[in-house]
Amino acid sequence: MKYLEGKVALVTGATRGIGKGIAIGLGEAGATVYITGRRLDSNSASSENVGGSLSETQSAVTQAGGLCIPVQVDHSDDEQVRILFERIQDEQHGQLDLLVNNAYGGVQALTAAQGKPFWESEPRLWDACNNVGLRSHYVASIFAARMMSQQQRGLICNISSWGGLSYIFGVAYGAGKAACDRLTADMAVELKPDNITVISLWPGIVGTEHISRLASEMEEQNPTDQQNFVISERYNWETPLLTGRAIAKLASEPNVIRRTGRVQIVAELAKQYRLVDQDGNLPASLRSLRFLLPLAVPALRKYSWLIPDLKVPWSLILLSTLQSPKI
C-alpha cells in the first residue's frame, strides 16, 4: 500500500546500510525520498573499503516504487546542509514531512580503535564519532524544524542505538548515543507545540555491509565473549529494510505525537505494525526474553522460538548494564 504517497522525506547518510534500507522502505510506501551521502556513484573516490553510492540507493528506491532524489552532501559542512534544505524548500514548495537523521561518520574510526580503551586512541576519535552523528543530527533538525513548523506537522527520527544505555564500541560511541536520546527528548519538548514529533529509534543488530564484514573477521578469531557472539554468529540479526518499514508506518500513524520524545525499538514497532524484514523474519527486541535468555544461556539458542517474546522492564535492563556493562 502506498500510504506515504504525497509525503516528502529526507534520509541522511543513505549510500548503504541502515540509511539505504530506510530509503527503500519509504519508497515502498510511495514517498518522495531525498537522500544524502558523500558518494554520488560507485566510481567516486573513497577511502573506505565498503561500497555503496547515492545512485545505487536511488535505483533500489525506484525499483521499490518510490521517487528518489539523490543529493551529494557532506554533513560536516553546515553550509552544504543549509543549501540542501533550501533545495527541498524550493522543489517541494515548503513541504517536508519526515527527516531521518542517520548520517554517521565514525565507523572507520571505531573499527580502527576496536579493542582499545579510550585513552589509547587520539582525541579526534570523539569528533569522528560525534561530529557527523550527534552534531549533524542537531544541525539538520534545525533546518527541518523551520520548515515543519510552518506546516504545523512533521516527524523527526534520530537513529540511535542501545549503546546509549549499555557499553558497546567504546566511550565516544556510547556518550554520543546517550546524548542523541537526550537530544530527542529535549527537542520534543520544544517542538510539541508545533505538532512536530521527535523519536529516537533503536535498530537491533543490523546486517549492514560494515557489520557483515566485522562478523567475517570475528569468525576467524573464534570469539568467546557474549558481546562478540551476537555479531560473529549473526544472532537475531535484522535487515536494514526493517528499520525503513517501521519508520514508514510511524510516518503514517495519525496520532504519532503520542510517541514524541521517547525511544522506540525497531523490532517492537515491527511487532506492533505486523511487519517483517527483507528475509520475511521478525527478530526479537533487544530487551525481549527471547533475545536475552539465549544470549546468557548458550544451550537455549537452538530453542529460542520456545521462549516467550516478553519485554523486560527498562529498570531491570539498566540494572543489568550497571552490573555487567559489556553485555
Q: Which residues are catalytic?
A: 173
User: What values do phi and psi take at 198, rounded to 5?
Assistant: -125, 125
Asked if residue 245 lies in contact with residue 283, where contact means CB atoms within 8 angstroms, the answer is no
Asked if residue 151 lies in contact with residue 194, where contact means CB atoms within 8 angstroms, the answer is no
Asked if residue 134 lies in contact with residue 183, where contact means CB atoms within 8 angstroms, the answer is yes
How far apart CA 194 and CA 149 sit, in angstroms, is 6
